[in-house]
Amino acid sequence: MSRHLRHLGSAACGCVLLAASPVAFSDEPDTSGESYALDRMEMRAQLSPQRFTTLSAELAAKIKRISVKEGERFKAGQQLVEFDCSLQAAQLSKARAQLAATRNTWRGNKRLAELNAIGQVELSNSEAEMMKARADVQFLDVTLQKCSLNAPYDGRLAEQKAREQQYVQAGQPLLEILDDSALELEFIAPSRWLAWLKPGHAFEVLIEDTETTYPARLLRVAAKADPVSQSIKAVGVIDGQYPELIAGMSGRILIEPKTQN
């Protein structure tokens, strides 16, 4: 019997040590149940870019050149992909010639109509043909503008999904790009922290990949809290520029909760 009691006592002691192992953010116990447990949880966060997107082809064509490689930086407006649009260029030349011809016809008919040599129907039809030819030119002008895929903002090429000389279809993903000028941190905090956790609040984050602590500040919190866990999603940002940090790195949020009097 005594050995059995000693065994139970050792097991209970082990449970207490296990419960105390997470990082403690609050010295004073609280009776709020789950929210107190969340205070004691290790708050994880992952670095993510503020802006990222996948650039796709806007027309069916063969890729002539890709000017950036994976990991390289680019500037807003820089050409990233150039397509072979020699066919569209030839079609534009043909459309411009047709526009010139229909314009001459319309001008001639307009002069004849002033002399009562033709009817209003013929004049209207020649004007409609000219407008149709002008629309064809405008359409091909816009199409040729899509033969160059330019960067929407400063950033880096994260992944290249197509290769030079590859024929792609409209809508096919080509490049994954991201803006890493400011890296965000997303984490879960107790919803009762909203009494003091406001945008601009300073805290720190320990990035495990670099084993370094960095300053950060809160950007925003979600518009809705989870009533079950009494938690809310918060988003912060690394305060400053650190070239060693890249999207995808992760770590622990270091933030000291404030007690309310």
Which of 173, 252, 148 is closest to 206 using CA atoms?
252
Report, in this order, helix, strand and coil percent for the chain, each rounded to 5.
35, 35, 35
Question: How far is Cα 63 from Cα 140, in angstroms, rounded to an integer?
Answer: 18
pLDDT in tens, the chain (261 residues): 444 434 334 333 333 322 333 333 344 444 444 444 444 446 899 999 989 999 999 999 999 999 999 999 999 999 999 999 999 999 999 999 999 999 999 999 989 888 888 888 998 999 999 999 999 999 999 999 999 999 999 999 999 999 999 999 999 999 999 998 888 999 999 999 999 989 999 999 999 999 999 999 999 999 999 999 999 999 999 988 898 999 889 999 998 877 655
Q: For residues 234 and 246, is the Cβ–Cβ distance under 8 A?
A: no
- Please report how the helices 120-145 and 86-114 are oriented relative to each other, as an axis angle in degrees rounded to 10: 160
Prediction pTM value: 0.69
41 three-class SS? coil
What domains are defined for the chain?
22-51+179-254 (2.40.30.170), 52-176 (2.40.50.100)
Give the Å distances, CA to CA, from 127 to 114, 117, 134. Answer: 15, 16, 11
Q: Which residue has the tokens 């990233």?
A: 80
